[in-house]
Amino acid sequence: MSNTIYIRTLKRAEHTVFNVANGQKYYYDVQFNRRIPFSSGQQVKRSLIDTLCMVTDETPSPTTFLFDADKQKKLKEGEVYGTCDPTYIDQLFGGWMKASKGGGERTLKRRSPLSISAMRALHPLLAGMDSKTEKDGKSTSGEAGSFDRSDRPNNKVIVRDENGNQLSEEDIASLLKIEGNVDRSLTRKWLNPADRATGLFVFDMAIDLRRLFSVSVNSFEPEMADTTIESLKGKGWIESENVFGKCLVAPKELREKWIKGLAKAIINLKITSNQSRTFSLMETLAVSISDNANLISGSIRAKLSEEDSSKAQPIVDENLKGVDTFVTIQAGGYIQTKGETVDALEKAEQKLIELMSAFDYENQLV
């Protein structure tokens, strides 16, 4: 059995916004002379993790926010890091990195077992951006957004003075009364306006089954603190070994539950975090699943029209050998298909569950 599962998903977005860090992000296609909007892989991953926590009814891990207060009592943003604890579902599948300021502690990092591409146009002629006005090639329309974690009651806010000392809650409260800090939110960051995106979009995902439920205990390249390792052993995590070295594997009961949640989240994710505004259903038109990376790209693709090179035709190959392709009934409105079904997404979800459940996580080197 292959160690990797590849997934390609085709979605339709309508008059919406993806990434908004500096307006709707886009790249310029030199062949077709068009601005093409996209949602970054990080944005897609964040939406996946949000959906995952929702469908499994798991509480996301708390995030630690660090700040520094300078001599003028102005707040400056510092590090942001997670718990580095795989008992949180978003940490196990999302990965982590904790690097302390000044290098006083060892850096902890775990690479996510989920590799996710940007969500970009299926073809440059099948997606685009729209805005009310343009000036000097730049859009002047849009609406502001935010990076918002204010809905999580377990966030941690740290403010440091000019000497690096952590301030008490009373000191922080006093800082927030000073002019310039009064309206300052410590768990929300404001973002710039953005244009809207419309069209057919595709993104790819690779699931590394070797890492999916296995966390390394290598002391030279640590993923976890020693206290976390001992805690996991006490919770039934299994000592094992894979090609990356000695590791701890999540218990079977947990794997079975989280495999179902991960499959559902992959099939049903939408870019609906606080960074996505002007809501679109972003309905899924087709999903392809394979263990062959070379085949997956051909299952959902586009082709230039033979009659008009300024037009492109979306194609979903429903009979490509080595690829399981599932087409929804919505796809018929945008693509010429024959095999669309009402339960296509349910079948795709079940296929993912079967593939992830078949892997022997505990005995990878046998």
Q: Which helix (H) or strand (E) holds 12?
A: strand 4-16
pLDDT at 102: 66
Work out the angle between the directed axes of helices 41-56 and 252-268 (0-180°, nearest 10): 120
- Predicted local confidence at residue 197, as pLDDT: 85
Read off the pLDDT of residues 206-259 as tens digits, 9 standing for 90 and up. Answer: 999 999 999 999 988 899 999 999 999 999 999 999 999 999 999 999 999 999
> Encoding tokens for residue 333?
């409105």
Beta strands of 243-282 (E only): which ranges?
Answer: 245-249
- pLDDT tens per residue, range 265-310: 999 988 764 444 567 888 999 999 999 999 999 999 999 998 888 8
CA 318/CA 134 separation, integer angstroms = 41
Query: Which tokens go with 316?
Result: 């979903």
Task: Supply the DSSP symbol for 165.
Answer: P
Q: Which residue has the higher pLDDT, 13 or 262?
A: 262
> Over the chain, what is the mean pLDDT?
87
